[in-house]
Copies of this chain bind each other. A is one copy, B any other.
């Protein structure tokens, strides 16, 4: 399995750093190779082409992202509380990795449509988690019965994403994690029964 070898991760980490520091269009393969401490050609022993690096990057990072959030909310019974942990964890994980935040919020969005479609495939895993929380909330009576699950998900994801993007665009100069509580309040009020 290629992706278990140390160089696979090594190259992905290098790609995150290079893209964050130079921007998507200035992230040449040779720069990534140099940052990873391997020869240009070595990249192609682990990745099919440049696009494959970027998709793998997103898949690896977002994969562990979804996994971590899944573990955190597993034991929680209240859907509203799950939503809180989701928001907080989302903010925490991106706060903890400034480079990754820049790459996912700004740089990777410059990729072409085909790449973005493949990235969206990965994102669907995240959106399914959100959908699940919303559905549970409706079932358990915490959220409105007439809540449209898809719209609720779009509000939740749209708000979180816009909040993180604004924070990154402001050069991460305020405390993102502190926004978890008020953002959560906005979201639950939008969804909640009563």
Contacts and interface: CB of A to CB of B under 8 A. Distances in A.
Work out how many copies of this chain go into the complex. Answer: 4
A35 to B, nearest CB: 19
Contact of A110 (B112, B117, B151, B179): B112
A152 interface: yes
A166 interface: yes
Interface stretch (A9-17, A57-65, A75-83, A154-162): A154-162
Interface string A144-158: 000010111011011
B152 A162 contact: no
A110 to B, nearest CB: 5
A186 interface: yes
Residues of A contacting B: mostly = helix
A152 B112 contact: no
Interface residues on A, range: 35 or more
28 contacts: A23-B113, A24-B113, A25-B112, A106-B113, A107-B113, A109-B109, A110-B110, A110-B113, A148-B182, A151-B163, A151-B179, A151-B186, A152-B186, A154-B162, A154-B163, A155-B158, A155-B159, A155-B162, A155-B186, A155-B190, A158-B159, A158-B160, A158-B162, A162-B162, A186-B190, A189-B191, A189-B192, A190-B190
Contacts of A107: 113
Contacts of A152: 186
A20 to B, nearest CB: 11
Contacts of A162: 154-155, 157-158, 161-162
Nearest to A109: B109
